[in-house]
Amino acid sequence: KIFLGMFLVLASPASASPMPTFHLNNGVHMPAVAAGTWQYDSEYAEQAVKSALSAGFSHIDTAHNYCADGSTGQCSTGSNQAGIAKAIKGIDRSSLFITTKVPGCGRQGISFDNCGKDSVAAADKNLEELGTPYVDLLLVHFP
């Protein structure tokens, strides 16, 4: 939280230069730096993402289990992705690069026996929480 706050003091919309990107083989330009949201509750994630976007970020990094009480997989306060959904509502989705994660097989509700099916269900839940029809990068968290 402190790092993001310090960065936002140094970068303002007027002084922010375009974020460098990596050109991927599929033609996508992935921003080199993302605004992370680990250990943020939904309300703080919403404000942090709004601030990051106004400072020139377009890449948001989150996960199914990012919440105020840490990465336990059982967020008592709920995932912060609902706050991110509020922050990006009304923004042209194609201007954003969103990364999220699903648990690895045998972790946090993803069974070994139904890993593929459970992973798809977890990805769908992420999309629902984020209020977006797609993410740009889906990672397996702790494979």
Cβ proximity of 86 and 45 under 8 Å: no
Cβ proximity of 110 and 119 under 8 Å: yes
pTM across the whole model: 0.82
Q: Please give the chain's pLDDT, 143 residues, in tens.
A: 444 444 444 444 545 567 899 999 999 999 999 999 988 888 999 999 999 999 999 999 998 888 766 655 566 667 789 999 999 999 999 999 999 999 888 888 788 999 989 999 999 999 999 999 999 999 998 87
Residue 5, burial from CB neighbour count under 10 angstroms (0-12, 13-18, 19+):
exposed
Res 9: pLDDT: 43
**Separation of alpha carbons 134 and 2, rounded Å:** 30
66 is catalytic: yes
Res 77: pLDDT: 65
What pairing do the DSSP bridges indicate for beta strands 97-103 and 35-36?
unpaired
Res 68: pLDDT: 67
Nearest by Cα to 106 from 63, 64, 67, 143: 143
Q: Which residue has the tokens 């099916």?
A: 117
Residue 64 φ then ψ, to 5°: -55, -30
Res 91: pLDDT: 97
Residue 44, burial from CB neighbour count under 10 angstroms (0-12, 13-18, 19+):
middle
Res 5: pLDDT: 44
Domains in the chain: ranges and CATH: 33-141 (3.20.20.100)
